[in-house]
Structure 1
């Protein structure tokens, strides 16, 4: 019942959009819930295991999250490998959410993946503040990939950087697309915005095993002052 609840609740939050290869624990796909858990809670878990005597059970360790869904996911993942292995993975993953879940064997790893971004679009190319810019990237997967991201890294005229990304559990060879929206407001200064689109295994920009930028593309748009 816990696994079914986890899958249902986290499916609402999942940003996976590719044709994916599922990896399961007891027939429940845990890759996306694991990454979401690690993204929000891995730092707290790491700090605890580095600063305290390790508890003798998963329920004791995951009790640091209270009695909520985060604790349930922690228990689910920890019990799958045992407390000793779980603690070792927390220490070894270097706070990388995808690598953490790959070490737990709940996210697929495929070596030798290859991709090519074929086109990028942004509509409109220029608009006033408080407008929405729609960004699309088209890409081909030449060789099957493992768990990774499709990301948009945006640099504003004032040099501030923001990032949006989608998690995927691996692409089979074929043609795919991803869409992003940039909703500007008064916090977006007028000027030219430069964006880099990336298709990656692992987290884009990470240097850990199973992480690589497979292909990049660029977009540009202009935000003009609101009259």
Structure 2
């Protein structure tokens, strides 16, 4: 009984403390304009589905354990996850992970994963791993160099990989004039050796739906905005295996009066 209660407390603490860093943190101002080319395949690409569903899966597994305690079998746990979510996909992802790891290790991984969906999905062998991968920026351009508020800036870059890449992410951060942090992360699926291009759009328009009493609202004041882009293997900054910074590039644009 005490062991179960202790595990529930650990899960709750781990979930709350890790909640500040989730994958695909998305500023409304930053969008991916060009989707990466995908190779022809008749099979289902489970990697992005696993990663995009990870947050919901964590929440549901935790919810089930808090409500019913630790289940005796993977079937008991994952049937409840599927039932509560109404999603056969979440039930499937729960079952795959639990069957591979065993229910005790599966629950421990949920608590210890620090909400790192890439590492989790790699552990389930749904996302490929390449610890010998690389990526280096070949070009990096932000256009136009200056424009008034309500303009759209384009971030274009090309990177080269000699050994291919593992499953990772691209993070874009913008240091604003008023100090409000803007960032967004995007999935970088495994790539073969080659040259690849990406395009992102920055909408420098104040968000009409942003409530300053509830959130920090970027007003795009005149001045210099510094942009940094990171390409990572795994989740950028994660302490888990299969994680490294491939490369970074920086530039800026100016909002004029």
User: Above 0.5 in TM-score?
Assistant: yes
Aligned-residue offset at 1:206: 2.2
Aligned-residue offset at 1:213: 1.0
Q: Deviations over 1:94-121 (max 9, x none)?
A: 2111111111110111112111111110
Partner of 2:199: 179
Partner of 1:194: 226
Q: Between Structure 1 and Structure 2, which shows a larger proportion of strand residues?
A: 1
Q: For residues 131 and 158 of structure 1, do their structure 2 counterparts lie closer, same or farther at Cα, with a shift above 3 Å needed?
A: same
Contact in 1 for aligned 2:81/2:94 (Cα 8 Å):
no
Aligned-residue offset at 1:189: 2.1
Partner of 1:17: 36
Aligned-residue offset at 1:54: 2.3
Partner of 1:11: none
Q: Do residues 98 (structure 1) and 113 (structure 2) align?
A: no
- Structure 1 consecutive aligned stretches of length 4 or more whose deviation exceeds 6 Å: none
TM-score (norm 1): 0.79
Q: Secondary structure of 1:165's partner?
A: strand
- Alpha-carbon distance between aligned partners in 1 of 2:65 and 2:40, rounded to the nearest angstrom: 34
Q: Secondary structure of 1:114's partner?
A: coil
Q: Deviations over 1:114-149 (max 9, x none)?
A: 111111101101000000000011111122221011
* Matched ranges for 1:33-52 at <5 A: 33-38=49-54, 40-45=55-60, 47-48=62-63, 51-52=66-67
Q: Could you tell me which of 174, 187, 190 is aligned with 1:167?
A: 187
CA RMSD between the two structures: 2.4
Aligned residues: 203
* Matched ranges for 1:1-227 at <5 A: 17-18=36-37, 27-38=43-54, 40-45=55-60, 47-48=62-63, 51-52=66-67, 53-55=69-71, 56=73, 57=76, 58-65=78-85, 67=86, 71-81=87-97, 82=99, 84=103, 86-186=106-206, 187-225=219-257
Aligned-residue offset at 1:49: 6.1
Moved more, 190-199 or 55-64: 55-64
Aligned-residue offset at 1:218: 0.6
Q: Secondary structure of 2:142's partner?
A: strand
Q: Please list every run of 5 or more consecutive structure 2 residues that lacks an aligned counterpart in the other structure.
A: 1-33, 207-218
Q: For residues 113 and 183 of structure 1, do their structure 2 counterparts lie closer, same or farther at Cα, with a shift above 3 Å needed?
A: same
